[in-house]
Amino acid sequence: MKKSFSRFMAATLVAASLVASGAALADADLSKSKVSAISKQMNVPTEGVFKKFAAQIKFDPANATQGSAQVSIDIASFDLGDKMYNDQVAGKDWFDAKTYPQATFVSSAIAPAGGNKYNVTGKLTIKGRAETITVPVTIAQSGATQTFDGVLPVKRSAFNVGTGEWKDTSIVADDVQIKFHIVANK
């Protein structure tokens, strides 16, 4: 059960990072994109992946501040590699996917941070709680393909992920890393 919580936390972070990513006037190519959440349970890293999400991204490096990103993640699609764990993290103590089926991110600003790095600010909503976040994103372009990579640190407690016996951060850490690699074609 503790292992499930850790994976649930990882899923939450993955959702947050995906939401915070950006791309070129296109939808994300899900076959080439990945969003994962990495958390620690009893100081052992655990990673889970969100299998279903949608991202609509508008980004032109010549006009970065006019870009935008909207991401929606299907919380029930979080995969820790084991059905029992997946079901547990989708439950009320973790993501409560029946009540809160989607995690979302809507950008409000994109600011250049030097080279091909940008800071994307917006509202991340997980489990009905919204927080304004800023995520560093590295953007690469090859022909009509843009890739957006980054890692977003979040606190699971800020989104009420892990309640009851899972609220104790000495077993499953409060810190979660949402790692994303988003590929979009213009």
Sign, Cα dihedral of 91, 37, 103, 153: positive
Instruction: Supply the pLDDT for residue 80.
Output: 92
Domain boundaries, the chain: 2-185
- Give the residue from 12, 39, 40 showing the smallest Cα distance to 159: 12
pTM value is: 0.81
- Give the residue from 131, 145, 105, 129 showing the smallest Cα distance to 18: 105
Instruction: Supply the pLDDT for residue 26.
Output: 63
CA contacts within 13 A on the Cβ side of 7:
23
pLDDT in tens, 107-152: 999 999 999 999 999 999 999 999 999 999 999 999 889 999 999 8
Instruction: Supply the pLDDT for residue 96.
Output: 92
Q: What homologous superfamily does CATH list for 2-185?
A: Lipid/polyisoprenoid-binding, YceI-like (2.40.128.110)
Q: Which residues of the chain have pLDDT under 70?
A: 1-26
Instruction: Supply the pLDDT for residue 48.
Output: 93
Instruction: Supply the pLDDT for residue 29.
Output: 86
Q: Which residues contact 80 (CB under 8 A, 6 or more apart)?
A: 4, 7, 8, 10, 11, 46, 48, 86, 89
Q: Are 23 and 180 in contact (CB under 8 A)?
A: no
Q: Are 137 and 22 in contact (CB under 8 A)?
A: yes
- Report how far residue 162's alpha carbon sits from residue 13's, in angstroms, rounded to the nearest whole number: 13
